[in-house]
């Protein structure tokens, strides 16, 4: 029997491609960095915590992966421009962008200041716009297409707890942005998709900042009780979805959102 379609190994092979993962030093971002690097991509570990990014990149290179740490404040247009320019300087191209950087300080709206609201929107939504625009301009000029993957949340579809109104607003915004950008960039061969994680066991989730009247541990326990699979997800659960969207397995997928939540939204 003759099989003309690519093998599975070829479909997930990212050799020769360069990826940027924001918030890539820890948690979900690190899980994504590890999977993309394992598949052969050269990966920029972009993070506001350069020390942590350096540690992640160093560990990957010690295991024969291609990784480089870079500092970025995703809400700063000049910083984002530098990030993409330095990535081009390192590997000559950018093929994959994963917008993972995000913050989620918990506080009721009635206790929230305008600065509190703006800080979340600046990182979670403005940052996605800035990084996507800068990377897409390079992908378009390369004339070889590319992949943009936005890490949203199940809160982009349904609120999970009181205290996250600003976070929910940002993630609903990213989902809307993802769909519209997918329409705009499809003619250039650039696919734009999203991943919506549920409760994922990360350092950020366990140290969530809380405002008055908010008990993060109680929120987490109540949330977990409604997950049909009965467990929190691991960063690698999200990373596997990212690998699918970054690879040729997803050659006909754009403008969609993959929910990785253990069935939480079903409850």
Catalytic residue among 71, 129, 167, 252: 167
**Helical (H) or strand (E) element with 92:** none
The predicted structure's pLDDT at residue 1 = 47
Report if pTM > 0.75: yes
In the chain, where does DSSP find H-type helix? 8-11, 27-38, 50-62, 77-91, 114-121, 127-142, 165-185, 203-206, 216-224, 235-246
List per-residue pLDDT tens for the chain, 267 residues long. 455 689 999 999 999 999 999 999 999 999 999 999 999 999 999 999 999 999 999 999 999 999 999 999 999 999 999 999 999 999 999 999 999 999 999 999 999 999 999 999 999 999 999 999 999 999 999 989 999 999 999 999 999 889 999 999 999 999 999 999 999 999 999 999 999 999 998 876 655 545 545 566 777 777 788 999 989 999 999 999 999 999 999 999 999 999 999 999 998
For residue 36, how far is the Cα from the chain centroid?
12
Q: Is 167 a residue of the active site?
A: yes
Domain boundaries, the chain: 8-260
What is the fold of 8-260? Answer: Rossmann fold (3.40.50)
């Amino acid at each position: 029997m003759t099989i003309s379609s690519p093998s599975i190994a070829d479909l997930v092979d990212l050799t020769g491609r360069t990826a940027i993962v924001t918030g890539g030093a820890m948690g979900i971002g690190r899980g994504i960095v590890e999977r993309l690097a394992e598949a052969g991509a050269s990966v920029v570990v972009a993070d506001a915590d350069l020390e942590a990014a350096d540690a992640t990149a160093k560990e990957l290179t010690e295991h024969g992966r291609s990784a480089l740490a870079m500092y970025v404040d995703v809400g700063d247009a000049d910083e984002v421009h530098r990030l993409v320019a330095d990535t081009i300087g390192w590997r000559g191209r950018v093929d994959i962008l994963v917008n993972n950087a995000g913050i989620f300080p918990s506080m009721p709206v009635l206790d929230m200041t305008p600065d509190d609201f703006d800080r979340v929107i600046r990182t979670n939504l403005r940052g996605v716009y800035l990084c996507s625009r800068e990377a897409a301009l390079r992908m378009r000029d390369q004339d070889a297409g590319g992949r943009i993957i936005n890490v949203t949340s199940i809160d982009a579809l349904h609120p999970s707890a009181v205290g996250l109104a600003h976070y929910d607003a940002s993630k609903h915004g990213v989902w809307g942005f993802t769909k519209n950008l997918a329409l705009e960039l499809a003619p250039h061969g650039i696919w734009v998709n999203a991943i919506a994680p549920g409760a994922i066991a990360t350092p950020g989730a366990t140290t969530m900042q809380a405002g008055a009247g908010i008990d993060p541990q109680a929120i987490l326990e109540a949330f977990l009780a409604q997950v049909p699979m009965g467990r929190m997800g691991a960063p690698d659960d999200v990373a596997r979805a990212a690998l699918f969207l970054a690879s040729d397995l997803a050659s006909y997928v754009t403008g969609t959102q993959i929910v990785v939540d253990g069935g939480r939204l079903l409850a």
